[in-house]
Structure 1
């Protein structure tokens, strides 16, 4: 059996009871990790709940090269197939929720092609946890909100405020200047940036009160008009 587990935002306490149950019953727990980074948020979340000898790291490429990505995920799918054929119970972990910008979504099509069934265990998305942290509602009655990547660009994101009351901007990272440009153009009532959320160097910034921010890892912004 293959379980795909959203482990939440980086805080072990955010793991659901179902996620803990599946992790503990698994023979193998796969933890994706960027080849460019020595750390894994998912690993830090689960490390105290899973025997270390059960953990296998999947170093995925951070590239736009489709051929390289295909090779990596094909290889990972075949490895999972082999483990399942050996009778292993396998869990694949991903930060946040599986349905939102997860590396697993590149792998799922390969697994489906191999006829591999998997069960998804939901996790707490980062923007939900952040909105609760700063006590800003994403939507009230008769309102709506959008979730968008920063790389969509200033013009695209500013346009969203014609249709949505709140816009969540994911993966801000080194596009701080563009984010500040959006805040200046939209002039939202609330504008907050979360950096390294629920990690050691967490920082929460009121974008309406600053114009200087360093590059942010694991960052997102919530803008509410």
Structure 2
């Protein structure tokens, strides 16, 4: 008599959710429902044993879900990064292969320089059967301009967003044609950027927002009075150089 085949659990689904830039209330209803119904909640592990930003954002919404902190090191070595992403993907796959649904909380929006992208790509390459879905969120530039009480763009404004590691020369060239520029993680180049904006007479049309929507949020304006600032990691600058008038 032939024996019955072993029972194989249906695969769980990995869902990436954008949880906003800091305020726990800036999460969509769809993301919240998914978060609260998940078996496992994953997020980037914080540094030095402290909770990371994504974990802090979702903490008020958690109940009895299994927590899965994943290590995404702050390094630039491609081999070490690839290894870390693969290890994170392997840990998630262990849950998915047991039929558990996993939610990965990503600060801001998934598609906007989100950590989730590295996890999803690694998982898809190593485990093609993985089922992955995405729920968008609010990214930091949108939160920052809301803190300023300004629109990000109006009329025919041309928008440029520059991630970290841009140079002053790059920005100078972009300001020749862009109407609105957002500089992410501006702290490491702030003093040089300030000098450029001074030369171009744009200090009155530029703002720095630190930790947008978080309890520690700070807005610096006008920048004419801040030639030197020691800014933390989550700091961005908005520059309005175009001619379109604000409403």
Please list the CA deviations of residues 67-91 of structure 1 after superposition, one character each: whole Å capped at 9, or x if unmatched: 1111111011111111111000100
Q: Is 1:95 aligned to 2:111, yes or no?
A: no
Q: Which moved more, 1:52-61 or 1:137-146?
A: 52-61
Q: Is 1:177 aligned to 2:191, yes or no?
A: yes
- Secondary structure of the structure 1 residue equivalent to 2:111: coil
- Secondary structure of the structure 1 residue equivalent to 2:16: strand
- Corresponding position of 1:145: 159
Q: Distance in 1 between matches of 2:172 and 2:225?
A: 19
Q: Distance in 2 between matches of 1:85 and 1:150?
A: 36
- Corresponding position of 2:181: 167
Q: Distance in 2 between matches of 1:181 and 1:59?
A: 38
Q: Does structure 2 retain, via aligned residues, the 8 Å contact 1:173–1:217?
A: yes
Please list the CA deviations of residues 155-193 of structure 1 after superposition, one character each: whole Å capped at 9, or x if unmatched: 101211122100000011332212312322332241110
- Corresponding position of 2:4: none
Matching of residues 1-225 of structure 1 within 5 Å: 1-35=13-47, 38-51=50-63, 53-113=65-125, 114-115=127-128, 116-188=130-202, 189-206=204-221, 207-225=223-241
Q: Distance in 1 between matches of 2:146 and 2:226?
A: 22
In structure 2, relative to structure 1, the CA distance for the partners of 1:154 and 1:21 (3 Å cut) is same
Q: Which moved more, 1:33-42 or 1:155-164?
A: 33-42
- Report the CA distance between 1:34 and its aligned residue: 4.4
- Report the CA distance between 1:38 and its aligned residue: 2.2
- Count of residues in Structure 1 that have an aligned counterpart in Structure 2: 225
In structure 2, relative to structure 1, the CA distance for the partners of 1:153 and 1:34 (3 Å cut) is farther
- Report the CA distance between 1:199 and its aligned residue: 2.4
Q: Does structure 1 retain, via aligned residues, the 8 Å contact 2:180–2:238?
A: yes
- Report the CA distance between 1:150 and its aligned residue: 4.2
Q: Does structure 1 retain, via aligned residues, the 8 Å contact 2:143–2:213?
A: no
**Runs of at least 5 residues in structure 2 that lack an aligned partner in the other structure:** 1-12, 242-247
Q: Distance in 2 between matches of 1:54 and 1:91?
A: 10
Structure 1 ranges of 4+ moved more than 6 A:
none
- Report the CA distance between 1:130 and its aligned residue: 0.7
Q: Which moved more, 1:40-49 or 1:200-209?
A: 200-209
